[in-house]
Amino acid sequence: MNVLIAGAGIGGPTLAYWLRRAGYEITIVERSPELRRGGYIVDFWGAGFDVADQMGIVPELTRAGYHLGEIRQVGDDGRKITSFDPELFVRGTGGRYVSIARSDLAAIIYGALDGRVETLFGDSVRALDDDGARVRVTFESGTTRDFDLVVGADGLHSQVRHLVFGPEEQFEKFLGITVAAFDIEGYRPRDELVAVMHTQVGYQVTRLALRDDITMFLVTFVDDGSVANQGVNAQQAALRARLAGAGWEIPEIIEGMSAARTFYCDRVSQIRMPSWTRGRVALLGDAAACVSLLAGQGSALAMVEAYVLAAELARAHGNHTEAFARYEQQLAPFLVSKQEAAIKLAPAFAPRSRLQLFLRNSIMKMFGLPFVAKLAMGKSLRDAIELPPPAAA
Ligand SMILES: Cc1cc2nc3c(=O)[nH]c(=O)nc-3n(C[C@H](O)[C@H](O)[C@H](O)COP(=O)(O)OP(=O)(O)OC[C@H]3O[C@@H](n4cnc5c(N)ncnc54)[C@H](O)[C@@H]3O)c2cc1C
């Protein structure tokens, strides 16, 4: 069987890895001219870590990742309000936890394909025609090819989803927060392996020093969703206006933003669909069931979805109808529970009132007490899912 995977992010190359092992012929199409660089740091743990382990890439992830020593909350004057040791996440997962740049994670997964998967960079799917026996794909470049299956792993704003299931608005659940992530070279001060956070009613700014004198900033702010629809200059202008008069280092951060190496801004949204498959087309990762950054687990979940989809296709000997049904049955309730849990965390990223800010800071203070943190985090650090046996030829 030959399969077209749209998207060389996290889920797409993971699916390619496992399907290739099961003897499938894979083509990946990626809109960017090369693997995407820069961007934000993701926390990587849970069942997705187990998938990475089975792919043999954990040593590389550990080398490329960061083990933070402190999560620190600071006030307007920069003084510490509270802090805790994120080691509790590492211990709570039995050491199976790493913070890593999303682009490094994606590159390591792609590297596991050993260059043996055809990848069409700088192209995209323009049209799909599923006639029941195969899918005829017309690419933006103008070429047309036939595939047995097509999988959309093309992220939150999936084109495959748009073409097969309809407009994004039907499925997007906007969570009332917009995120901006950018990185600045040579920013000072640096606090090595410390995530420094400043939170006020309406927004949060996080600073994290990375290797090679790069500092990453993550801004989450209450919004009606319109900022993300604009161009980069207008997005940065909106951010400047939103944070005007703010304390801590925010004036310097905002000034440095215009010289950022990479700048990303988008709505914090989830994707909720009644089904992720139709005919010979399936979706996975953010395209299918984005949990949003509030979940702190979207990458790991995209890998779990890819692994399960490949395992089910191999188990059903290519009977995609059977495999797609089992893929959805196993994962849909699990992902909805992750989405519900994520929504409850919204006030921690952008409190809407002084009361929410107070509660957020009080909970963070309690995290400084290891036994409270252990009690609070214990259950949420275990994924309620059992992985099926891996896809094999
Ligand atoms: C600020 C932020 C912080 C986050 N923090 C965390 C975290 O702590 N932990 C965590 O696990 N997750 C986190 N996430 C979520 C995580 O990044 C995503 O859930 C994950 O990347 C989803 O993987 P994916 O493969 O589904 O999609 P993506 O990684 O988005 O990859 C999609 C790929 O498809 C390509 N593409 C898009 N459109 C097309 C097209 N038309 N044709 C071809 N290719 C296309 C894109 O260029 C991209 O390479 C965070 C997300 C954000 C925005």
What pLDDT, on a 0 to 100 scale, did the predictor assign at position 182? 96
Residue with tokens 């961007």: 39
Atom of ligand 1 nearest to the CA of 106: 29
Distance 155 CA to ligand 1 centre (A): 5
Distance 322 CA to ligand 1 centre (A): 27
What pLDDT, on a 0 to 100 scale, did the predictor assign at position 195? 97
Print burial letters for 40-53: b (CB count within 10 Å at least 16), e (below 16).
bbbbbbbbbbbbbe
Q: Where are the domains of the chain?
A: 2-67+98-171+270-344
Would you tell me the crossing angle of helices 47-54 and 298-315 to the nearest 10 degrees?
A: 60
Q: How far is the C-alpha of 34 from the C-alpha of 28, rounded, in Å?
A: 12
Assessment of whether the complete model's pTM goes beyond 0.95: yes
Residue to substitute in 299, 305, 309 for testing ligand 1 pocket (most ligand atoms within 8 angstroms of CB): 299
Q: How far is the C-alpha of 383 from the C-alpha of 46, rounded, in Å?
A: 6
What pLDDT, on a 0 to 100 scale, did the predictor assign at position 369? 78
Nearest to 187 by CA among 104, 79, 259, 101: 259
* pLDDT averages per 10-residue partition of the chain, 393 residues: 98 98 97 89 96 98 96 96 89 91 97 97 98 98 98 98 98 98 96 97 97 96 96 97 97 96 96 98 98 96 98 95 98 96 95 96 84 69 88 81
Q: Are 286 and 302 a contacting pair, CB within 8 Å?
A: yes
Write the DSSP assignment of 29-78 as a string of letters.
EESSSSSPP---EEEEETHHHHHHHHTT-HHHHHHHSB---EEEEE-TTS
Q: How far is the C-alpha of 47 from the C-alpha of 27, rounded, in Å?
A: 26
Distance 141 CA to ligand 1 centre (A): 23
Q: Select from 2.60.34.10, 3.50.50.60, 3.10.180.10, 3.40.630.30 the CATH code of 2-67+98-171+270-344.
A: 3.50.50.60
What pLDDT, on a 0 to 100 scale, did the predictor assign at position 88? 82
What pLDDT, on a 0 to 100 scale, did the predictor assign at position 377? 67
Which residues line the pocket of ligand 1, CB cutoff 6 A? 6-12, 29-32, 36, 40, 42-44, 102, 124-125, 153-155, 159, 179, 181, 218, 285-287, 293, 296-300, 302
What pLDDT, on a 0 to 100 scale, did the predictor assign at position 379? 65
Q: Whose CA is nearest to atom 52 of ligand 1?
A: 293
Q: How far is the C-alpha of 41 from the C-alpha of 22, rounded, in Å?
A: 32
What pLDDT, on a 0 to 100 scale, did the predictor assign at position 37? 80
Q: Whose CA is nearest to atom 14 of ligand 1?
A: 293
Amino acid occupying residue 180: A
Q: How far is the C-alpha of 307 from the C-alpha of 13, rounded, in Å?
A: 11
Structure-block tokens of residue 116: 């043996």
Q: Whose CA is nearest to atom 2 of ligand 1?
A: 293
Neighbours of 23 (CB within 10 A): 12
In three-state secondary structure terms, 6 is: strand
Structure-block tokens of residue 171: 């499925």
Residue to substitute in 5, 10, 104, 309 for testing ligand 1 pocket (most ligand atoms within 8 angstroms of CB): 10
Cross-sheet strand order for the sheet of 2-6: 118-121, 25-30, 2-6, 149-152, 281-283, 277-278
Q: Which residues pair with 181 in a beta bridge?
A: 218, 264
What pLDDT, on a 0 to 100 scale, did the predictor assign at position 117? 97
Print burial letters for 202-240: b (CB count within 10 Å at least 16), e (below 16).
bbbbbbbbeeeebbbbbbbbbbebebbeeeeeebbebbe
Print burial letters for 89-128: b (CB count within 10 Å at least 16), e (below 16).
bbbbbeebbbbbbbbbbbbbbbebbeeebebbeebbbeeb
